[in-house]
Amino acid sequence: MMNYPDGDPEGPGDPDAPGVPEGPGAHGDPEPPDSDPAITARALTTVRGGRTVLRGLDLTVPAGRVTGLLGPSGCGKTTLMRTIVGTQAQVTGTLTVLGRPAGHPSLRPRIGYVTQAPSVYDDLTVRQNLGYFAAVLLPGRAHRPARATAVDGALTDVDLRDHADALAGRLSGGQRSRVSLAVALLGSPDLLVLDEPTVGLDPVLRRDLWDLFHRLAADRGTTLLVSSHVMDEAERCHRLLLMREGEILAEGSPDDLRRRSGTPTVEEAFLHLVDTAAARAAHEEPGP
Amino acid sequence: MTPARTLATAARVLRQLRHDPRSIALMLLVPCAMLFLLRYVFDGSPGTFDTIGASLLGIFPLITMFLVTSIATLRERTSGTLERLLAMPLGKADLIAGYALAFGLVAVVQSVLATGLAVWFLGLDVVGSPWLLLLVALLDALLGTALGLFVSAFAASEFQAVQFMPAVIFPQLLLCGLFTPRDKMAPALEAISNVLPMSYAVDGMNEVLRHPDVTTAFVRDALVVAGCAVLVLALGAATLRRRTA
- Asked if B89 lies within 8 A of A136 by C-beta distance, the reply is yes
Q: Nearest Cβ partner of B245 from A89, A103, A141?
A: A89
Residues 6 or more apart in contact with residue A177 via CB below 8 angstroms: A114, A118, A197, A199, A200, A201
Q: Which residue of A has its CA nearest to B93?
A: A10
A7 falls in which pLDDT band (50, 70, 90)? Answer: very low
**What pLDDT was estimated at residue A35?**
64
Q: Nearest Cβ partner of A137 from B80, B86, B88?
A: B88
Residues 6 or more apart in contact with residue A233 via CB below 8 angstroms: A68, A70, A198, A206, A210, A226
How confident is the model over B58-76, as a mean pLDDT? 90
- Asked if B81 lies within 8 A of A120 by C-beta distance, the reply is yes
The DSSP letter of residue A22 is P
Q: Which residue of A has its CA nearest to B81?
A: A119
Compute the distance between CA of residue B172 and CA of residue B164 in angstroms, rounded to an integer.
Answer: 13
Mean pLDDT of chain A: 85
A96 falls in which pLDDT band (50, 70, 90)? Answer: very high
CA A195 to chain B, closest CA, distance in angstroms equals: 13
With 0-12 CB in 10 A as exposed, 13-18 as middle and 19+ as buried, what is A30?
A: exposed
- Tell me the chain B residues in contact with residue A122 when contact means C-beta distances shorter than 8 Å: 79
Closest alpha carbon to B152 in B90, B71, B210: B71
The alpha-helical segments, DSSP class H, found in B19-157 are: 21-41, 46-78, 81-86, 92-116, 130-152
pLDDT tops 70 at residue A24: no
Q: Which residues pair with A232 in a beta bridge?
A: none
CA B6 to chain A, closest CA, distance in angstroms equals: 9
Closest alpha carbon to A34 in A220, A228, A210: A220
Closest alpha carbon to A84 in A198, A251, A227: A227
E strand residue ranges, A159-209: 191-194
pLDDT tops 90 at residue A112: yes
**What pLDDT was estimated at residue B239?**
84
**Whether the Cβ atoms of residue B233 and residue B149 lie closer than 8 Å to each other:** yes
Q: Render pLDDT for A37-74 as a digit per residue (tens, 0 to 9).
A: 999 999 999 998 889 999 999 999 999 999 999 988 88
**What pLDDT was estimated at residue B243?**
85
Closest alpha carbon to A112 in B243, B91, B241, B84: B84
Closest alpha carbon to B49 in B143, B122, B108: B122
A118 and chain B: CB distance < 8 Å anywhere? yes
Range name among A267-281, B26-40, B53-67, B80-94 with the lowest pLDDT average: A267-281
Q: Nearest Cβ partner of B15 from A86, A128, A141?
A: A128
Best mutation target among A114, A132, A141 (most B Cβ atoms within 10 Å) is: A132
Percentage of chain A beyond pLDDT 70 is: 86
Closest alpha carbon to A233 in A256, A207, A204, A268: A207
- Bigger pLDDT: A280 vs A69: A69
pLDDT tops 50 at residue A91: yes
- Other beta carbons within 10 angstroms of residue A117's beta carbon come to 15
Q: Which residue of A has its CA nearest to B17?
A: A123
Is the ipTM higher than 0.85? The answer is yes
Q: Nearest Cβ partner of A136 from B85, B244, B245?
A: B85
Compute the count of residue pairs across chains A and B with CB atoms less than 8 Å apart. Answer: 96
**Whether the Cβ atoms of residue A83 and residue A44 lie closer than 8 Å to each other:** yes
- Asked if B244 lies within 8 A of A123 by C-beta distance, the reply is no
A25 falls in which pLDDT band (50, 70, 90)? Answer: very low
- DSSP track, B181-208: -GGGS-HHHHHHHHT-HHHHHHHHHHHH
The DSSP letter of residue A230 is -
CA dihedral sign of residues A205, A34, A82, A16: negative
Compute the distance between CA of residue B167 and CA of residue B147 in angstroms, rounded to an integer.
Answer: 12
- Asked if B89 lies within 8 A of A115 by C-beta distance, the reply is no
Compute the distance between CA of residue B133 and CA of residue A138 in angstroms, rounded to an integer.
Answer: 39
- Asked if A121 lies within 8 A of B83 by C-beta distance, the reply is no
- Asked if A119 lies within 8 A of B12 by C-beta distance, the reply is no
Tell me the residues of chain B between 16 and 45 that have a Cβ less than 8 Å away from chain A: 16, 19-20
Range name among A78-87, B18-27, B169-178, B235-244 with the lowest pLDDT average: B235-244
B216 and chain A: CB distance < 8 Å anywhere? no
Range name among A145-149, A231-235, B72-76 with the lowest pLDDT average: A231-235
The DSSP letter of residue A88 is B
A49 and chain B: CB distance < 8 Å anywhere? yes
Compute the distance between CA of residue A204 and CA of residue A217 in angstroms, rounded to an integer.
Answer: 20
**Whether the Cβ atoms of residue A43 and residue A96 lie closer than 8 Å to each other:** no
How confident is the model over B136-150, as a mean pLDDT? 91
Q: Nearest Cβ partner of B243 from A88, A109, A123?
A: A88
Q: Render pLDDT for B177-191 as a digit per residue (tens, 0 to 9).
A: 888 889 999 999 999
**What pLDDT was estimated at residue A286?**
58
**What pLDDT was estimated at residue A285?**
63
Best mutation target among A91, A115, A121 (most B Cβ atoms within 10 Å) is: A121
How confident is the model over A150-173, as a mean pLDDT? 95
The DSSP letter of residue A59 is E
**What pLDDT was estimated at residue A275?**
87
Q: Render pLDDT for B90-124 as a digit per residue (tens, 0 to 9).
A: 999 999 999 999 998 998 999 999 999 999 999 89
**What pLDDT was estimated at residue B16?**
95
Compute the distance between CA of residue B209 and CA of residue B115 in angstroms, rounded to an integer.
Answer: 12
Q: Nearest Cβ partner of B83 from A87, A122, A123?
A: A87
**What pLDDT was estimated at residue A32?**
41
pLDDT tops 70 at residue A271: yes
B156 falls in which pLDDT band (50, 70, 90)? Answer: confident
How confident is the model over B192-216, as a mean pLDDT? 93
How confident is the model over B219-243, as a mean pLDDT? 91
Mean pLDDT of chain B: 91
Compute the distance between CA of residue B103 and CA of residue B142 in angstroms, rounded to an integer.
Answer: 8
How confident is the model over B51-74, as a mean pLDDT? 90
CA A103 to chain B, closest CA, distance in angstroms equals: 8
Q: Classify B215 as helix, strand or coil.
A: coil
- Asked if B89 lies within 8 A of A9 by C-beta distance, the reply is yes
pLDDT tops 90 at residue A150: yes
